[in-house]
Amino acid sequence: MYQIDAFQYIYYLALLPLLWLFYGLSQRWKRKTQAKFAHPELLEILSPNRSRFKTTLKITLLSFSFLFLILGLMNPKIGTQLETVKREGVDIVFAIDVSKSMLAEDIAPNRIEKSKRLVSAILNQLASDRIGIIAYAAQAIPQLPITTDYGAAKMFLQALNTDMLSSQGTALDSAIDLSATFFDDEDQTNRVIFLISDGEDHSEDASNAASRAADLGIKIFTFGIGTEAGAPIPLRQNGVVESYKKDFEGEVVITKRNSEILKAIAEATNGSYQDGNETQAVLDFVSQKLKAMDKKEFEAKKFVSYKDRFQPFLIVALFFLLIDLFLFETKTKWVQKLNLFNENDN
């Protein structure tokens, strides 16, 4: 099996006929000029060592050198063997809170943007783990099934916003239950959920959902976004803050990060909680945890390994070029003694 790495160089072969055309025209002009100067028999007497054969030999060698140089530039690759590449990793589902409370600006630029940047930073340091994404507020919806396509994951990640779900709230139980359905491999040794939220849970079943996840062998690592002091929820129109969200009594709602419920969820699955506001600390934590986990082989591909073979062509091209450079157009004495073309016969 073989393939051509740079096929476009084949068009340079069109220069070879032009080279021979130029050679033919130059030889014709040379003969006409010599005929004006002296008769051919007289030229033989004046330049007895002039060789007609070597002129053609030199252009032939130059043509071969040019031909092999072009073949070298095309870089033919020869398939040597089938190689198997195995991928091992952990299945990770990112459950991202997109409720209105994530618009609070107690962490710059706001909680939802901070969450997206945090997940993107985690994706940048993953290698072969499979990932999935869900979004949740009062209910959870799938965004990206388990995949190794990190580019697609970042695209779906950037599309997340707080307007994608009409029902508002933070149903952590729904997020956990939906995330658990993403793990379809019964032999998977490690299943992980990264739950990113401010912890403002408006359901009462988060702990039970965490217990159900633990029974399935799923670990939940929670990352709290926001501050304990909290901040109001801005209501924007065309990018401009018009007011802040208020309760039924007309008081401005202050949304606060609830770290306790996030810690309880993580502990129920033998996971742990991290402050999501500290990006570098989260990245170090994720890297440490994933390295300690057993990896599952979930993908193996076979492909032909091609190796560059341009070197022999360049060597041959250089060989012909050197012969051409050191080959003179005069007759070679020892060849002349052999009298191969009966040149010495009267």
For 77-104, write each residue's pLDDT tens digit: 876 666 666 667 888 999 999 999 999 9
Whether the per-residue pLDDT at 15 is higher than 70: the answer is yes
Tokens encoding 85: 């590449």
Is residue 234 domain-shared with residue 261, that is, in the same domain?
yes
List CB contacts of 48: < 8 A, sequence separation 6 or more.
none
Is residue 150 domain-shared with residue 35, that is, in the same domain?
no
Cβ-based neighbour number of residue 224 at 10 Å: 24
Look at residue 40 in the predicted model and tell me its pLDDT: 66
Is residue 268 domain-shared with residue 134, that is, in the same domain?
yes
For residues 277 and 117, give the distance between their C-alpha atoms in angstroms, rounded to a whole number: 11
Residue 209 lies in a domain: yes
Look at residue 203 in the predicted model and tell me its pLDDT: 63
- Give the pLDDT band (50/70/90) at residue 329: low
Is residue 157 domain-shared with residue 239, that is, in the same domain?
yes
Arithmetic mean of pLDDT, 133-162: 91
Strand partners, 23: none
Judge contact between 198 and 101, C-beta under 8 A.
yes
Residue 346 lies in a domain: no
Cβ-based neighbour number of residue 133 at 10 Å: 27
Is residue 209 domain-shared with residue 328, that is, in the same domain?
no
Neighbour-count burial for 196-217, b at 16+ CB within 10 Å, e otherwise: bbbbbbebebbbebbebbbeee
Arithmetic mean of pLDDT, 97-114: 93
Is residue 292 domain-shared with residue 317, that is, in the same domain?
no
Is residue 160 domain-shared with residue 213, that is, in the same domain?
yes
Average pLDDT across the chain, whole number: 83
Look at residue 213 in the predicted model and tell me its pLDDT: 92
SS3 at position 190: coil
Arithmetic mean of pLDDT, 199-204: 70
The CA-atom distances, in angstroms, between 46 and each of 31, 40, 56, 176 are: 15, 10, 21, 101
Cβ-based neighbour number of residue 221 at 10 Å: 22
Is residue 133 domain-shared with residue 93, that is, in the same domain?
yes
Residue 80 lies in a domain: no
The CA-atom distances, in angstroms, between 140 and each of 56, 133, 173, 179 are: 81, 11, 9, 9
For residues 307 and 76, give the distance between their C-alpha atoms in angstroms, rounded to a whole number: 8
Residue 144 lies in a domain: yes
Whether the per-residue pLDDT at 140 is higher than 60: the answer is yes
For residues 65 and 62, give the distance between their C-alpha atoms in angstroms, rounded to a whole number: 5
For residues 210 and 7, give the distance between their C-alpha atoms in angstroms, rounded to a whole number: 58
Look at residue 346 in the predicted model and tell me its pLDDT: 46
Residue 81 lies in a domain: no
Q: What is the pLDDT of residues 41-84, one digit of tens each?
A: 666 665 666 666 677 888 888 899 989 999 888 888 876 666 66
Q: What is the pLDDT of residues 122-132, one digit of tens each?
A: 999 988 888 99
Range in 17-26, 32-41, 66-75, 314-323 with the lowest mean pLDDT? 32-41
Is residue 122 domain-shared with residue 215, that is, in the same domain?
yes
Is residue 106 domain-shared with residue 56, that is, in the same domain?
no
CATH number of the structural domain spanning residue 279: 3.40.50.410
Q: Print the domain residue range for 219.
A: 86-300
Phi, psi of 215 (to 5 degrees): -65, -25
Residue 42 lies in a domain: yes
Neighbour-count burial for 41-69, b at 16+ CB within 10 Å, e otherwise: eeeeeeeeeebeebeeebbebbbbbbbbb
Provide Rg for the chain, Cα atoms: 38
Look at residue 302 in the predicted model and tell me its pLDDT: 63
User: Based on the structure, what is the number of domains in the chain?
Assistant: 2
Residue 327 lies in a domain: yes
Strand partners, 302: 84
Is residue 249 domain-shared with residue 203, that is, in the same domain?
yes
Is residue 189 domain-shared with residue 213, that is, in the same domain?
yes
Highest mean pLDDT among 69-73, 92-96, 165-169, 317-321: 92-96
List CB contacts of 260: < 8 A, sequence separation 6 or more.
199
Residue 295 lies in a domain: yes
For residues 139 and 73, give the distance between their C-alpha atoms in angstroms, rounded to a whole number: 59
